[in-house]
Structure 1
Amino acid sequence: MQKDELLFGLRAAYGRRVPHLLAALSGLGLGLSLIVAIGSQNAFVLRQGLRRQRVGAVVLVCVVSDVVLIAAGVAGAGAVVQSRPGLLDAVRLAGAVFLAGYGVLAARRAMRPQTLDARDGLAAPASVAATVGTALALTWLNPHVYLDTVVLLGSIAQSHPGRQWWFAAGAAVGSVVWFTALGYGAALLRPLFATPRAWRVLDSAIAVVMLALAVSLVLSTV
């Protein structure tokens, strides 16, 4: 009798946890699908990872920003964002200006490419404040971040009634895994960037991505 009661209790506990786990896995899958795409934020994290400069700070900024935005979306901030299109337009224009400026700097670097030296570094790294500021701008001045995390993830989380925060936790784990892997895993590509030509290709690609995003943001407000 006691054995049957124990088995019943285990089955009941397992049955209650499965929906929560499925909600978390759903959030993890969707979160990864949204952040893995090539964009300004990922390009910056990759470059910092290749240079091994302020990687921890950059990864922390990206992860904390994502967690805050995901939590805001699940808490209902998506409705506020959608009800104020003027706010998104302002973010789009500010983001376009910043991305255009960053793209021009990347293009200039491509004309005068750097290379890794024998001391395992590049030119003197930017300060922590400057690096964190750039990471924050690339994150919070990108209107797609709000649409993806606050609006989309927040809306889909509501399809898991009673388990919205499990969904949010899964999405947050996806951000932690991705940005950590991208920032620290970039070191594996360092042998490919031992020549100025490789850096010219990388910075040229970053310039194209940044400028293309800037143009798309301007056009989306017209």
Structure 2
Amino acid sequence: MNFLLQGLTMGLAYVAPIGLQNLFVINSSLEHTKRRAFLTALIVIFFDIALSLSCFFGIGALMHKFQWLQVGMLFFGSLIVMYIGVGLLRAKPDNTETKSEVPTSLWKTITTAFVVTWCNPQAIMDGTMMLAAFNVSNPASGATPFISGVAMASAIWFSTLTLIISSFKNLFNEKILRWINVVCGIVIMLYGLKLLITFLTKIM
């Protein structure tokens, strides 16, 4: 139980700060029906848990070992992230039922959820430092309950975030939704630019 609680608290501390995943889940909750928003959250949870497992077992070590892998992820990740940001900046929110009845295609939701989770080499390396360090410094018997706690944290956080935003989205009018899109788009664009600058510094 102690290892489970450690994993739960560390997982919440890792996933809670505002990031690409949170912005994506928030935007989906505002734009779509509650049912579709929860489906999006489940997809994000799946990719987030997969990333946590990979970090726990040391995928970050591969990125440290193979520089080309890290550089490639930085380049393509920065372009895709900035593309998502531009899409949000150009979007025209409409707080009507018609908008909710025409959700983003499932394939686009899946690919975007993958991008905001996996196309972030810094997050992979940071996650590896946090999670893999526990794996190698604690008894083997604590590995399963710990990583289970991390997975629970992901499920609890994104489900709760989706529930709160979906339940109160009617309080947001079209102007507020537009500003949320602009703020999210700018943050994501800046994040993508940061990845691109990191890429350039590594190849120069």
Shorter-chain TM-score category?
0.7 to 0.9
Q: Secondary structure at the match of 2:186?
A: helix
Distance in 1 (CA, whole Å) between partners of 2:93 and 2:43 is: 26
1:184 lines up with 2:163 in the alignment: yes
Distance in 1 (CA, whole Å) between partners of 2:126 and 2:39 is: 23
The AA in structure 1 aligned to 2:151 is A
1:169 lines up with 2:145 in the alignment: no
Deviation per CA, 1:83-120, whole angstroms, max 9, x where unpaired? Answer: 223212211111110111111111112xxx42322x37
Partner of 2:3: 23
Offset of 1:143 from its aligned partner? 1.8
Partner of 1:42: 22
For the 8 Å contact 1:79–1:151, the answer to whether it is kept is: no
- 1:134-173 aligned at under 5 Å gives the runs 134-162=112-140, 163-173=142-152
Distance in 1 (CA, whole Å) between partners of 2:40 and 2:67 is: 29
Distance in 1 (CA, whole Å) between partners of 2:93 and 2:57 is: 45
1:32 lines up with 2:12 in the alignment: yes
- 1:82-93 aligned at under 5 Å gives the runs 82-93=64-75
Partner of 1:68: 50
The AA in structure 2 aligned to 1:181 is T
TM-score, normalised by the number of residues in structure 2? 0.87
Distance 1:95 1:25, change over 3 A: same
The AA in structure 2 aligned to 1:103 is G
Q: Secondary structure at the match of 1:158?
A: helix
The AA in structure 2 aligned to 1:168 is I
Offset of 1:44 from its aligned partner? 0.8
Q: Secondary structure at the match of 2:139?
A: coil
Distance in 2 (CA, whole Å) between partners of 1:72 and 1:132 is: 19
Deviation per CA, 1:93-152, whole angstroms, max 9, x where unpaired? Answer: 11110111111111112xxx42322x3744722211121121112212122331233442
Distance 1:206 1:99, change over 3 A: same
Partner of 1:106: 88
Offset of 1:184 from its aligned partner? 2.4
RMSD (CA atoms): 2.0
Distance 1:152 1:84, change over 3 A: farther
Deviation per CA, 1:29-62, whole angstroms, max 9, x where unpaired? Answer: 1111111111111111111112234323322222
Distance in 2 (CA, whole Å) between partners of 1:73 and 1:99 is: 21
For the 8 Å contact 2:7–2:146, the answer to whether it is kept is: yes
TM-score, normalised by the number of residues in structure 1? 0.80
Distance 1:29 1:139, change over 3 A: same
